[in-house]
Every structure is written in C-alpha cells, then in structure tokens.
Amino acid sequence: MSEPVGTLIELSKVNRTYVGAELVHAVRDVDLNVAAGEFVSITGQSGSGKSTLLGLLGLLDRPTSGTISLTGIDVSNASDARRTSLRGQVLGFVFQQFHLVPHLTASGNVEMALLYRNLRPRERQAKAHAALERIGLGHRFGHKPTELSGGEQQRVAIARAIVTDPRIVLADEPTGALDSANAENIMEVLTGLVDERTAVIMVTHDRELADQADRRIHMSDGSIVSDTTSNTDASHMTGSHQAPSNESMDSPA
Amino acid sequence: MRSLLDLLATAAAGLFARPSRTMLILLGPIIGVGAIVAAIGLTESAKGDVRATLEDLGTDLVTVQASSGFQGTQGLPRLPEEADARLKRISLLRASAVVTELPGHQVLPHSEAAEAFEVLPISVRVAGTQLPDVLEVDMLWGRWLNTWDNQSGHRTVVLGSDTAEQFAVLPGEVRSILIDGRIYGVAGVLSEVVLVPSYNLSVFISPVAAEDDFANEGGPTEAILRIADGETLRESDSAFLNTVLTYGGPGGIDPPTVPTDELEATASVDETLRTVVLLMGGLSLLVGGLGIANVMSISVLQRSAEIGIRRAVGHTRARIAAQFLSEAAAVGFLGGVLGALLGAGVVAVGADWRNWTMVLPIEVLIGAAVLSVVVAIVAGLIPAVKAARLEPLQTLRLG
C-alpha cells in the first residue's frame, strides 16, 4: 500500500488493551492517517482513550494489535531503543504540566532535547536560542522555570519540542494550566508550526480550542466517533486521509 | 567524546541543582577517604621519622660481644688480645673499636656516697682513643681519653651521660670520682649513646690505668663495628667475624647485633592502630556509599518527570542510567578529592605537631580517591537502573 506523499502517521486497526483486574480496551480498532501540515485536535471525555492514543502516537507505548507507521516506518513492534531514537528525530512533545526541569534555565531546558547529538555546546546553544526567539522568548534564555510565568513556561516547552525540527508535534492539553490570554498565545504558536508544515496533534477537552484545529477528532470508549475537517482550511490537506464512515456525525460535547 | 561531555555537564547540573543534598552525600566519602589517607599518612610519617632517626644514627653500627672466655678464668668472656688488630684488617668494616668491661668495681662521686650508689650498677669500661669516632657521638663537654692519658697512666675518666647526671656533674666542673676508692679526674662527659644505651651508665678509663689500678689482662669483652659503605651484614658474616677474631683459637662471639634493626622493630608496633583506623575509614566509606544509594533512589523518584521528558526527547535508557551513574561517580570523585585533601591536612598537622617529616605517598591519595569513586559508582548502580527502567508514559501523566 503506497501512501500519498506527505502522510506522516498511519494507524491501521490499532488496539490497545490493558490486562489488569479486568480487560480494558483503551483503544479499539482505530484507523487514522495524518499528513504533514495538518492541525488535528482530539477530544473526548476521561477514559475515552485519547491519552492512550497520544501515548501510541508518541511512541511511548506499543499497540496490542494493529500497525502504526511514522514517516513510513512501521513502529508497531519497534524496540524501545528504536522508538526512543525515532522520538528524538520526528516527534516533539508539549505537556499540560510543561515538564520543564526546574534546575535548568530556559535555554538549558531547550538544549536538553539536543544532547547526545554530537553538537558543540555553542551550536546547541545557538539552536536553542533560535527556537526561543521563534516563540518570542529571546529575552528569557537564562531564566529558571520558577522565574517564568505559566505561559512563558509552556512556550519554553514548545521551544524544546520544536528545536529538533520534528515532523510531528504532540500536545497534551497544552493550555490546560493557562489562563485564556496565554492559551490564545500558545494556540497561535501551534498554528504557526502548522503553517511550516509540521503536523500538530493536540489532545484537549476544551471544545473551543479543539474547534481552532483544521481537523477535529472525537473519541469515545476507545474509538474514533467523529473526524471532521474544516472546509475553510481544506487547502492544508495535501494528502488524503481515510475519512471514517461517521464523519458527518456531530460529536457530543 | 562530545556525548561524554554532554553527560558530564548534565550530571554536574543535576548535582549543583541541589547543593545542600549534594554536600550531605559528600560527607560519607570525605570522611572515609580522609580517615584512610590520615591513617596511612600518619603511620608512614611516624615510620619515616624513625627511619630519619636511624639514618641519623647510622644503620651500619654493629656490636659484637664475646661469648666465651679466651682466657676464661675470671670475669666476663673475652675476645682475643689481637682482636683490635684483626678487625682493622677486615674490608667489610670501615671502622672498629674494642671495649673491655671491668665488672665488680665500685664507682662513687665521693666517699660518703657509698650507701646511696650501692644499688646503681655503674660499669667501668676500658676504651681506646677512637671509641667516640666509631660511635659517632660527640662529647657533651670536655674531652675524650687521649694518647697522653694512656701513655702516662694518669687516672683520667670520661663519664657516660647518665653517670654524669647521677653524680650531678656540672658542665666544665673540675671534678673527681672514686673507682674502688681511687681518685679519678673527670676529663669530660660523653653525649648520649642511643644505640648502645649501656654506655650511658658507664665510666671510661684508659687501658694503662686499667692495667695499673685493676690488673686488667687479656683481650676486650666487646667490639663496636661500622660496616663499610655499600656493604651489609649478612647471616654468614657472623661466622666470618668469629673466624677472623679467634683465628681458630678458643672463644668466640655471640651473633652480632644491629641496634638500629631493633629500634625499627619497636617502631612498627603501631600497625594495629593503623589497621583499626583503616577499617574505620573503609566502614565510613561503605556507609557513605549506602547514603549515596539511598539519597539517589529518592532523587530518582522525585525527578521522575525529568526522566520522563528526557526519554520523550530521545534520551535512551542507557543515557539515563549513565546520567545517574555519572552523578554518583561525581559525588565519589569530589568526595574522594576533598577527603584526600582533608586527610593530607590531618597528616600535615599531625606531623607538624610531632615534629615529624610528613610522608604521604601520592599513590595513597590517588588510590583512596579511586576507591571512593568505585564505591560511589557501585552505590549508584541501583538508582541508575531504577531511573532507566522508569516508563515515560507513566511518569509524564498524559491527559
């Protein structure tokens, strides 16, 4: 099966079950294709499987069955080392809790993503500074996370995610810990990434934020129940994605 | 190479982020290494001091005692009369002097002191003019017996340092003492003879005086020898000396003694103390290692989010393990270096206090620091493995 150029993520019949006291189907039979430059939001209630799906997309987890391909590479059964290496190459993460290392400066936190890549400290610093400049924090290089506002911290986290020029950025409730003004700013930054042909996948429970994405996926009980694409931004979609059969269904709030 | 530098920088940042905690876990290695270095350094310095003293005294001095009488009828065993001349011919020796002990004579500071000095056995010894030169001991004051004393048969005496003290002889004082009631003029006092302590409680008279006053006949009772430079006294030399001295005639010598060897043997008794301090140092290093393991295990839990994000941005499990191992190793190294400095300081102060020359082999400092690093790395293994095993999915708490 040859996919159109630009397809970054291909999920086919992906299942993820947890064996505990009882069997939990966290993700059921998910098919999903995401192309470069797509801004995808995933919504759903707690336990709908959106976090599990994000974990699978982020190569932090392996599917119980089905196949996952990233940039054409089948990672369904990839070893931990292989998945780690791919994470560093093609993925960027943004978390609700920012997850900045408290004892490192803004620059140090961004540089962390560039460690062990055979870069001279000066090159690494230059790249980190460029990434911080890009998200408007050029004046905050040497500040510790505690000296930054929540919005600034999240922007540092985004700089960390994009400093490696990833093809895909995964954002988990990126504005969940921020006020509306800061949230807006973060959304602008993410939209900016999309304009540079990075695929952004954002998990959120906020309907309004989700609606800002070109493509909105709603999950329930481990399955994708709706997958709608904004007509206005259809121009972004260079590659075709398999539209689920229930595309037209309105997702419940 | 750059990855290694990245690793070290990361470890250093992790340690400097929590200075007070790092200080606390440094204490174990510092105390352990400090104790080990101090134990070795102080005992080495003490040994070095004994060696320096021995060096000063000269380790080539040998004493020889007659073991059975040549003339053999009365008094102490004697060496042959020709002993002095025979010793002078041995190339193994660079100097020699013979001495004759005359037992059973009463030595008193004055006639009324007989009762007081009844119990103090002061020996009368007959010596030639060369004895202080062979002993390499100076006069405390005055002069040694000279050729004139011997030729004239004057009653001249030189006192050992303890004898002079017992007789309360003042430096430069014109004094006389009594040997069996005969008045002898004191010519001088010999300085302390460390290697032949019996000489300190002796008085020395010339051979002619001994012959005239005490009817001394026959050879000497003992000999003081100096081994030639570059030679050592071997086991076989005992028999050789015996043969040379007796020429196959009757009599003989006891095995020669090297007084400096005996001094050195007494000095090494401190080994037990050194072992105890070494064990204590090792123990505190071990406890320090446990402290590192303990604190770092907690640290791994506290830093699980950091570990998760590092894994997310592409740091492998091995890198995470290496990061924590490096932190442990850095603690061991820093503690080792500081401990070595502390130990060296203790040795310096101790040596200064006892007026020793500080002896601290550089190998001890390096060895102790390396031991500290090894202990710290072993201690860091469990936390490092724990950190590497953390699942980023769990620590990052998605959703």
Distance CA B279, CA B196 (A): 38
pLDDT at B119: 79
Mean pLDDT of B29-34: 93
pLDDT of residue A3: 44
Of B247, B193, B229, B223, the C-alpha closest to B96 is: B223
CA distance A186 to A206: 14
CA–CA dist B156, B186 (Å, integer): 6
Task: For residue A88, give the nearest of B7, B308, B313 by CB distance.
Answer: B313
Residues of B in contact with A121 (CB under 8 A): 5, 9
Q: What does the pLDDT look like over B52-90, one tens digit per residue? A: 777 777 778 889 888 864 555 557 888 888 889 989 888
pLDDT at B267 over 80: no
Q: Which residue of A has its CA nearest to B305?
A: A99
pLDDT of B2 reads: 79
Token pair, residue A199, equals 């695929």
The yes-or-no verdict on residue A20 having pLDDT over 60 is yes
Share of chain A above pLDDT 90, in %: 69
Strands A215-220 and A39-43: parallel
Tell me the nearest-neighbour CA distance from B10 into chain A, angstroms: 9
B214 vs A9: CA distance, rounded Å = 121
Q: Residue B397: its pLDDT value, please?
A: 75
What is the reported pTM? 0.70
Q: pLDDT tens-digit profile of B145-161?
A: 999 988 888 899 999 99
Does the pLDDT at position B376 exceed 90?
yes
Out of A46-50, A169-173, B111-115, give the one with best mean pLDDT.
Answer: A169-173
- CB contacts of A51 in chain B (<8 Å) are 398-399
What are the φ/ψ torsions at residue B205 (nearest 5 degrees)? -125, 165
Model confidence band, residue A231 (pLDDT cutoffs 50, 70, 90): low
SS3 A6: coil
User: Which B positions 260-319 lie with beta carbon below 8 A of chain A?
Assistant: 305-306, 308-317, 319
pLDDT at B78: 86
Q: Report the pLDDT value the prediction gives residue A253, as an integer from 0 to 100.
A: 40
Q: What is the pLDDT of residue A244?
A: 45
Lowest mean pLDDT among A82-96, A226-240, B154-168: A226-240
pLDDT at residue number B256? 85
Q: Tell me the shortest Cα–Cα distance from A176 to chain B, in angstroms.
A: 10
Banded model confidence at residue A250, pLDDT cuts 50, 70, 90: very low
Tell me the H-state helices in chain B: 2-16, 19-57, 83-88, 131-135, 147-152, 161-166, 207-214, 235-246, 259-267, 271-302, 304-312, 317-353, 362-389, 392-395
Q: Which domains does chain A have, with CATH numbers?
A: 7-230 (3.40.50.300)
pLDDT score at B310: 94
Mean pLDDT across chain A: 87
- For B236, the token pair is 């076989």
Query: What confidence category does residue A177 fall into, taking pLDDT thresholds of 50, 70 and 90?
Result: confident
Tell me which chain B residue has its CA closest to the CA of residue A44. B399
Q: Mean pLDDT over all residues of chain B?
A: 88
∠ CA A112-A89-A127, rounded to 5°: 45
Say yes or no to pLDDT of A234 above 60: no
Q: What is the pLDDT of residue B51?
A: 75
State the angle between helix axes of A150-162 and A121-134 in degrees (0 to 180), rounded to the nearest 10.
Answer: 130
Q: Say what the pLDDT of residue A145 is.
A: 94
Mean predicted confidence (pLDDT) in A95-113: 93
Question: Quick one: pLDDT band at residue A63, thresholds 50, 70, 90?
Answer: very high
How far is Cα A251 from Cα A246, in angstroms, rounded to an integer?
10
- Mean pLDDT in residue range B305-324: 94
The listed range with the strongest mean pLDDT (A5-9, A249-253, B20-24) is B20-24
Report whether pLDDT(A240) > 70.
no
pLDDT band at A132 (very low <50, low <70, confident <90, very high): very high
Question: Which pLDDT score is estimated for B31?
Answer: 92
Q: Which residues of chain B neighbour A127 with C-beta distances below 8 Å?
A: none
Q: From CA B347, how far away is CA B107, in angstroms rounded?
A: 48
For residue A60, the chain B residues in CB contact (below 8 A) are 312, 391-393, 396, 398
